[in-house]
Structure 1
């Protein structure tokens, strides 16, 4: 699990950014709110949407990646 925070000051697009605890771009402790522990940014954004509709994931620490999972059929 990772620990996520919500910036309390909007970015240049007027959005509040969600950051992981270890992000190099995380705001100072007075400029962020703790969201909680989540497995990924998608879970954190659901919680943040309860606080504000204008939320987005940090492009540096919360990159959304998808990959295919291929399963081999047992013979």
Structure 2
């Protein structure tokens, strides 16, 4: 699990970004609110939306990577 924070300062598009604790772009401690521990940014953004309706994921630390999952058939 990672610890996530919500920036209290809006970005250039007017959204408040969700960052994990180790992000190189995370705002200083006075300009962020703690969201809690989550498995990924998508889980964290659900809580962030309750705090502020205009939120987005940081493009550096919360990249959404989707990959297909393939399962082998079991030979029975």
Q: TM-score, normalised by structure 1?
A: 0.98
How much does 1:24 deviate?
Answer: 0.3
Q: Distance in 2 between matches of 1:60 and 1:42?
A: 14
Q: Distance in 2 between matches of 1:74 and 1:28?
A: 51
| Count of residues in Structure 1 that have an aligned counterpart in Structure 2 | 75
Q: Distance in 2 between matches of 1:29 and 1:52?
A: 18
Instruction: Name the Cα RMSD after superposition.
Output: 0.4
How much does 1:51 deviate?
Answer: 0.5
The gaps in structure 1 that reach 5 residues or longer are: none
- 1:24-56, CA deviations, whole angstroms, 9 ceiling, x for partnerless residues? 000000000000000001100000000011000
- 1:3 is paired with a residue whose SS is strand
Tell me what 1:29 maps to. Answer: 29
